Structure 1
Amino acid sequence: MKYAEEQPLPAGTPAWSQSEKRTKVRYAVLSMLLIATILNYVDRSALGIVAPSLSKDLGLNKMQMGELFAAFGLAYSIALVPGGVLTDVLGSRLAYALSLVGWSFATLTQGFANGYHMLLGSRLAMGALETPAFPSNTRAVTLWFPVQERGFATSVYVMGQYIGTPLFTGLLLWISSMYGWRTVFFVTGGFGILFSALWYRTYRDPARHRAVNAAELQHINGGVTPASRKPRDKFNWRMALKLLGYRQILAICLGKFCNNTLLVFFTTWFMTYLVEARHMSMIKVGIFQALPFLGATVGILSAGFISDFCIRRGVSVSAARKAPLIVGTLLGASIVLVNFVESNELVIAVLTVAFFAQGVGSMSWAAVAEIAPRQYVGLTSSITSLAANIAGVTTPLMIGYITQHTGHFYWALNLMGAICLVGTLSYSVLLGKLSRIELE
C-alpha cells in the first residue's frame, strides 16, 4: 500500500553531515497536532458550552439534549474504522486536511439550526468527519518521534482535549451572552476551516520534509534509515478482525471505553451539571469549569513525562506505559465523591482530581503506538478509538435518561465510578505485556 503524499525528495538533494546539529522539526509538527486537537475538542464541546441557553431557546428537554450529544459519538464510532483506513491510504497530510475542513463546516452549520433535527444532522456529520483526526495524530507521532519520546509527544497532542475548554470557554460564554449562542458555532467552525489550509500547506512526513536533516531522521528512526524498513503490505479489510483477535488490543479497547466515559461527561453534561445540579451562576461556572480541565492537562503531561523518563532510566516500555493507565483509571472512580460533599469548592476539587486521573489514563494512546503493526497504525488507532468513543454514545444517553427520570445526577455519577473500576481491571489483568504486534 502506498501513501498518497508528495514524492520523496529528488536525487541530488544535498546530504547533511552526520556531525551537523540535529534539526527539531518534529516539535513544530507536534505543535500543529496540538492546535488541531484543540480545535477538534472545542468544536465538539461547543454544544455543551451553550447547552443551557440553546436548549431553552429551542425548547429541548434532557433526553433530546442527551440524544444530540450521543449523535456525535454514534457517527464517530461508526466512521472510525473507515477514518483510520483513510489515514493509512492518504497519509496524515491529506486525511487531516479533509477532516479539518469537513468537521469545521459541520460545526458552523449548527449556528443555523432552528430545531432538534437540524442540530441532529450537524452533529452526525461532525462525528463522521472528525474520525481521521486521532489516527492521523498517532500516525504522525509514530513517524516523527523515536520510542523514547513518544510518550511525551502523545501527551502533548492529547493535552489538546483538555486545554481548549479552560482557554476558550470563558470567551465562548461571553460571545454567547453578547451575540447569541449561534455565533459560537460560526466562530469555532470558521477557525477550523482556516487551519485546515495551513495544515495542508505545511505538513509533510519526515522523509519528505525539506527542513529535516539526516541527523534528525536518524534520531527519529533509531539509526535505521526509512528505506531499510519492511515494505508496507497491501491493505486488507480482514486485518481489522485479525487485530481484534489480539489480547492487547481488546484490553486497550475496554480500558479506553471506561476511561473515556469521564471525558465525555466533562465535554457534554458538565456545564449543565454545574448550572442545574450545583446551582452555580454563569460567572462562577466561567471560573470553576476551567479547574478540572487544567487538572486533566497536568495529568496527561505528567504521565507522558514520567513514562518517558522511566524508559530512559531502564524501566521496560511495557511497565512504563501500563502504570499510568492503571493508576489513572482507578483514581478516576473518585468522581463518585461529589455525591457526598455540599460545598461547591469541594465539588470542583473532587472533579479536578477525577479529571486529572482521566488525563493520566489517556496515556493509552502511547500504548497503542507501541503495539500497533507499523503498516496498520491508522487502522489500529481507529479500532481502539472506536471502542473509546462508544462512550460518546452511551454516556450522554445514560446521563440524559437518568437525570430525566430521577431529576438529579446521583446515580449517573455512581455508574461512571463503577465503569472506571472495570477499566482498571482491564488494564491490570487483561492487558498483559505490551509489545509490537508482528503480523504473519
Structure 2
Amino acid sequence: MPAAVKPRGRIRWIVCGLLFAAVVLSYIDRLVLGVLKPQLTSLYGWTNNGYGDITGYFQVCYGLGFLFFGWLIDRIGARAGYVLAMGMWTVGHFAQVLVTSTLGFTIARIPLALGEAGTYPAALAAVSRWFPKKERALAIGIFNAGANVGAIVTPMLVSFLVAGLLLDWRWAFIITGSFNLVWLAAWIMFYRNPADHRTLTTEERAYIESEPAEDVGRAGFFRVLRHRQTWAYMSGRFLIDPVWWTFLFWLPDFFSKQYGYDLKSFGPPLVAIYLLADVGAIAGGWTSSHLLKRGVATGRARKWTMFGCALFALPVMFAVQASNIWVAVAFIGLACAAHQGFSTNLFAMPGDLFPRYAQGTLIGLGGFAGAAGGFIASKSLGVLLDTVGSYEPFFIACGLAYLVALLVTHLINPRYAEVRMNGAT
C-alpha cells in the first residue's frame, strides 16, 4: 500500500461539500414549520401541547426511519440511500401545504421524518468510504456544520418570503422543497465510491485507501447490540440529541414568549446562535483531528474534546434569567456550539470502532435512541409550558446533559476499543 502522503486531488472534499449541502437542505425542510409556528398558532389556534405532538411524533418516525436507513445503507450504499431518503422527505415536505391543524401536520410530516432519517447514515457511510480516520472527524464536522447553516438560512428565507414578499405561508414549503430536486440531480451525476470514480487521481485514491478496511460481512441489529461500544454510542445520542432537537423546534417560540420577537425580528438572534454552532462543529472536528495527528490515542482525543465542549454548554442553564435577548443568545449559542463539537466526535465513534459493514446499523440504532430521547423531551416541554409556563427546567437540563453523556459513554466504553467482527451474520 503506498504511503499516506498529502495527495494531489480534492474529489473527497467535493463529496464532503455535497454532503454539507444535503444536511443544509434537510435542516431547512425540517425547520420551516418551527419558524412559522408563532404565525400558525395565531391563525389556527394551536396549543403548546399540540405543537409538542407535531415535534414529538416527528422524532418517533425519525427514530424508526434511522433504524430502517441504518440497516438499508449498509446494503445499498450511500448513493442509492441518499436518493431514496431525499426523495421521501421531499414528498413529505410538499405535503405540508395541504393541512392547517396540528394533527394534519403530524401526519404530513411522517414521510419527511422517515426520509430525513437517512441523512446522517448516508453521510457517515460516504465519509467512511472517502476519508481516512485522521481526516474523518474534520469531514464530519464540516458536513455537520450544514445543520447550523440550514438553521441560519431558514428564518431569514422564510421571513423574506412570508413577511417580506407577503406570500402565503405555503410558499415557504414549496420554494424550499424545490431546492432538493437540484441537489438530487447533482448527487446522481457526481457521487460514486472511490474505486469507481473516474476523476479521482491515483494519489488521492491511495491516500483514501491507506487504512485497510474490512468490507466483507454483514451485521444485523442483534449482532451489533452485543457490544458495549454500541450502548455507549446509543446512550450518548439519547442524552444529547434532545437538546439540539428542542432548540431547533422551540427557539422561535422561546424568543416570542420571552422577548416578544416575531417572524420579522427573531431572525438575527437565530442567525447568531447557529453561526456559533457552526464554529463549534468545525472546531470540535479540528481539535480531535489535530490531537490525532500529534499522536494522541483516538479515544483520548475524542473524549478530551468532548469534555471541553461539555464545559462550554454549562452557562445555558442561566438563559431564562438573561437580562436581555442578546445575553440569552450568547448562552444558547455557546451551548449549540458545544453540542455540535460534542456530537461531531460522538458521530465519529462508528467509523472509529466498527467495521464498515456494521456502521450503518449502529448509526441507525444511535439515531433511534436520540429520537426517543427527543420525543420524551418535546412532549415533556409542551406539557411543561402549558402547565408551569417556564423554559427554565429545560435549560438547566440542557446545561448538564453533555457532562452526563460523556460520563455515561466513558463508563460503558472506557478503553475506546475497536470491535472485531469476522464474517457474515
The separation in 2 between residues aligned to 1:20 and 1:106, in whole angstroms, is 43
Q: Quick check: 2:313–2:400 contact (8 Å CA) kept in 1? A: no
Equivalent pairs, count: 417
Identity %: 23
RMSD: 2.1
- Tell me the equivalent position of 2:184: 196
- Tell me the equivalent position of 1:394: 376
How far off is 1:77 after superposition? 0.7
Q: Quick check: 2:303–2:406 contact (8 Å CA) kept in 1? A: no
Check if 1:138 corresponds to 2:124. yes
Out of 295-304 and 112-121, give the one that drifted further: 112-121
Spell out the pairing of 1:130-209 with structure 2 (5 A cutoff): 130-177=116-163, 178-209=166-197
Q: 2:236 aligned to 239, 255, 265, which one? A: 255
How far off is 1:366 after superposition? 1.4
Q: Quick check: 1:322–1:427 contact (8 Å CA) kept in 2? A: no
Check if 1:120 corresponds to 2:106. yes
The separation in 2 between residues aligned to 1:335 and 1:95, in whole angstroms, is 37
- Tell me the equivalent position of 1:407: 389
Check if 1:245 corresponds to 2:226. yes
Q: 1:382 to 1:20 in 2, by over 3 A?
A: closer
Out of 429-438 and 248-257, give the one that drifted further: 429-438
How far off is 1:97 after superposition? 0.8
How far off is 1:326 after superposition? 2.8
Say which SS state the counterpart of residue 180 (structure 1) adopts: coil
Q: 1:54 to 1:282 in 2, by over 3 A?
A: closer
The separation in 2 between residues aligned to 1:22 and 1:48, in whole angstroms, is 44
How far off is 1:282 after superposition? 4.0
- Tell me the equivalent position of 1:285: 266
Say which SS state the counterpart of residue 173 (structure 1) adopts: helix
Out of 245-254 and 72-81, give the one that drifted further: 245-254
Spell out the pairing of 1:412-423 with structure 2 (5 A cutoff): 412-423=394-405
Which segments of 5 or more consecutive residues in structure 1 lack a partner in the other structure? Answer: 1-17
List per-residue Cα deviations over 1:389-426 (Å, max 9, x = no partner).
Answer: 22331222111110011122122222333444421321
What TM-score results when the alignment is normalised by the length of structure 1?
0.90
- Tell me the equivalent position of 2:281: 300
The separation in 1 between residues aligned to 2:37 and 2:260, in whole angstroms, is 15
- Tell me the equivalent position of 1:379: 361
List per-residue Cα deviations over 1:22-69 (Å, max 9, x = no partner).
Answer: 221101100000000111111111111111111222221110001101
Say which SS state the counterpart of residue 432 (structure 1) adopts: coil
List per-residue Cα deviations over 1:196-229 (Å, max 9, x = no partner).
Answer: 22212211011011111221111001165xxxx5
Check if 1:354 corresponds to 2:338. no
- Tell me the equivalent position of 2:200: 212
Say which SS state the counterpart of residue 249 (structure 1) adopts: helix
Say which SS state the counterpart of residue 304 (structure 1) adopts: helix
Q: 1:424 aligned to 406, 416, 421, which one? A: 406
List per-residue Cα deviations over 1:119-156 (Å, max 9, x = no partner).
Answer: 11111221112222211111100110011110100101
How far off is 1:280 after superposition? 2.5
- Tell me the equivalent position of 2:57: 71
Q: Quick check: 2:234–2:366 contact (8 Å CA) kept in 1? A: yes
How far off is 1:330 after superposition? 4.4
